Amino acid sequence: MNDLLYSHTYQIQGRDFEHGGEASSDIKEALKRMGINPQVIKRTAIASYEAEMNIIVYTEKGELLLEVYPKMIRVTATDRGPGIEDVELAMKEGYSTAPPEIREMGFGSGMGLPNIKKNADRLLIESHPGKGTKVIFEIDIPNASV
């Protein structure tokens, strides 16, 4: 039952606000075309968007890996950015280390990780300060097909 049905890697360029959100938009489109439950798609898309914007705001580059299983969707966001000093603190709504110029653009409001947690069924964050961060989240699919 754990057969991987589909996977795809989306490359993300840090600081590229122009194309920010494209990877999560592509993920959403792929899931829509597969006929996956719209509620699952919405949660995956929103969580993916937050993960994507974290890579864009804080790092030079990174990637999102989408994996679709019959009963579950997994997204793995990997970057080689500065890492998160205190993961527990970063999970707090409103806590942010974003510089003012990023906040002026409407990002870095400290809702990213909390929003991923809110939309995912499971969330795992591995971060090594100075080396990078890996954010893995999973969303269960209630009905396997349309």
Partner 1 sequence: MPAFNLYFHSLRIKEDVCKGCTHCLRNCPTEAIRVRNRLAQIKDLKCIDCGDCVRFCPWGANEVLTDDLSVLSHYEYRVLVIPPAFLSLDFLGLSTSEVMGRIFALGFQEVYEEGIGEEAYLEETRRILTKGNVKKPLISVACPAVIRLMQVRFPDLLSHLSPLNTPRDILGATVRRKLGKNSGLFYLAPCPAKITAIRNPQGIEKSPYDGVIAANILYREILRVNETTSGKVHLSGPSGVAIGRIGGEKEFLSPLRVLAIDGITNVVRFLKELEMEKVPALDLIEGRSCPNGCVGGILLPERDSFLNLYRLEQEERKRENAISPLSREDMADFLYLTMPIQPRPQYFLSENMEAAAKLLKMIDKFYEKLPKIDCGSCGAPTCRALAEDVAKGEASLEDCIFL
* List of residues contacting partner 1 (CB under 8 A): 5-6, 8, 21, 24-25, 28, 30, 32-36, 38, 41-42, 45-46, 49, 68, 70, 144-146
> Least distance from C-beta 4 to partner 1, angstroms?
9
> Least distance from C-beta 68 to partner 1, angstroms?
6
Please, which residue, 27 or 136, has the CB nearer to partner 1? Answer: 27
Please, which residue, 58 or 69, has the CB nearer to partner 1? Answer: 69
- Reading across the β-sheet that carries 122-128, which strands appear in turn? 6-13, 61-69, 72-79, 132-140, 122-128
Please, which residue, 2 or 145, has the CB nearer to partner 1? Answer: 145
> Least distance from C-beta 121 to partner 1, angstroms?
18
Asked whether the beta carbons of 13 and 61 are under 8 A apart, the reply is yes
Please, which residue, 50 or 79, has the CB nearer to partner 1? Answer: 50
Whole-angstrom CA distances from 5 to 62, 69, 72, 76, 113 are 23, 5, 10, 16, 27
Show the tokens assigned to 28.
Answer: 């959403």
Q: What is the enclosing helix (H) or strand (E) of 68?
A: strand 61-69
